[in-house]
């Protein structure tokens, strides 16, 4: 345990699994009170148990980031229970069923944008409103190296939605830094989560494919992604505004 984020109240959307869970645990280990949010209660409960087992302070709120009413309630609940909101990691996202652009199902397209883009816009909408009225704060949004930085056939909906997150993040950063709200984003590449496996792959096959495709020769660990989020959320990056930090082992270099 350290105190880099002591007395900080932090919200992590999509905090029940993978990058969201790892980042929530890291924030808690460094002194923060961490609230995780998502649609499924069981993974959120597990994240909170892990935080508490490590000696940290955790809480969860069930919420759907595609719903304006849910996100408004989420931010209000965090503030009511814990007395404020200082940092937010807007991480909730989805991939959707891959397909070539002209063969995408309408519902897949709409859902991917609802979660990945509208979800982050709604989160920022209510987080910024609270932070502006309470002395400022810090927001980190999760985009992807597939999108603004790189493209992949079959991933049009995901790429377009994440490119939108990158641009939205930087535009909002310019709008609100004068109010003390500092906004940045991350764009992870292949990371050691279930999403890094293609259909039918085991770990050996995944690692062999990635070894040839990624200059560094491996996927990222969730801890490596969390390291970047914590840096952008900390005072160590206090002069960094509107940046989209690519963390992809050189894939889009």
Q: What is the pLDDT of residues 43-75, one digit of tens each?
A: 999 999 999 999 999 999 999 999 999 999 999
130 C-beta neighbours (distance < 10 Å), count: 18
Q: Contact, 30 vs 41, CB < 8 A?
A: no
| Reported pTM | 0.96
Q: Contact, 101 vs 51, CB < 8 A?
A: no
d(CA 34, CA 8): 8
**Among 250, 210, 253, 247, CA closest to 227:** 247
Calculate mean pLDDT across residues 126-135.
98
DSSP state for residue 2 in the 8-state scheme: -
**Among 120, 170, 128, CA closest to 149:** 170
Angle at 220 between CA 216 and CA 221, to 5 degrees: 140
Q: How confident is the model at residue 1 (pLDDT cuts 50, 70, 90)?
A: low
Give the tokens for residue 23.
């980042």
Q: What is the pLDDT of residues 150-181, one digit of tens each?
A: 999 999 999 999 999 999 999 999 999 999 99
Residue labelled with tokens 């949004």: 141
d(CA 10, CA 229): 12
Which CATH number is 9-246 given? 3.40.50.720
Using the predicted structure, report yes or no on whether residue 137 has a pLDDT greater than 70: yes
Contact residues for 211 (Cβ-Cβ < 8 A; gap 6+):
217, 218
Q: Which residue ranges make up each domain of the chain?
A: 9-246
Using the predicted structure, report yes or no on whether residue 78 has a pLDDT greater than 80: yes
Calculate mean pLDDT across residues 18-40.
98
d(CA 158, CA 36): 23
d(CA 142, CA 38): 15
**Which residues participate in catalysis according to the annotation?**
158
Q: Write out the DSSP string of 79-133.
A: HHHHS---EEEE--------B-GGG--HHHHHHHHIIIIIHHHHHHHHHHHHHHH
Q: Write down how long the chain is.
A: 253
**Among 52, 42, 53, CA closest to 16:** 42
Supply the Cα-derived Rg of the chain in whole angstroms. Answer: 17
């Amino acid at each position: 345990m350290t105190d880099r984020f002591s007395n900080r109240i932090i919200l992590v959307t999509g905090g029940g699994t993978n990058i969201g869970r790892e980042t929530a645990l890291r924030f808690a280990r460094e002194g923060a009170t961490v609230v995780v949010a998502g649609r499924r209660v069981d993974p959120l409960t597990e994240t909170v148990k892990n935080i508490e087992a490590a000696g940290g302070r955790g809480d969860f709120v069930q919420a759907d980031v595609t719903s304006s009413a849910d996100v408004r309630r989420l931010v209000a609940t965090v503030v009511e229970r814990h007395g404020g909101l200082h940092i937010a990691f807007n991480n909730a996202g989805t991939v959707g069923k891959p397909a070539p652009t002209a063969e995408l199902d309408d519902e897949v397209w709409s859902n991917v944008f609802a979660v990945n883009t509208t979800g982050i816009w709604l989160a920022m909408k209510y987080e910024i409103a609270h932070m502006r009225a309470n002395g400022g704060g810090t927001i980190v949004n999760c985009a992807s190296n597939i999108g603004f930085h790189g493209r992949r056939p079959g991933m049009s909906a995901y790429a377009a939605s994440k490119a939108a997150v990158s641009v939205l993040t930087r535009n909002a950063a310019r709008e609100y830094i004068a109010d003390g709200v500092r906004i940045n984003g991350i764009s992870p590449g292949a990371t050691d989560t279930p999403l890094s496996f293609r259909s039918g792959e085991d770990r050996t096959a995944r690692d062999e494919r990635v070894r040839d495709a990624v200059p560094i020769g491996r996927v990222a660990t969730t801890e490596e992604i969390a390291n970047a989020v914590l840096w952008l959320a900390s005072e160590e990056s206090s002069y960094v505004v509107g940046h989209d930090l690519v963390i992809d082992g050189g894939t889009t270099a």
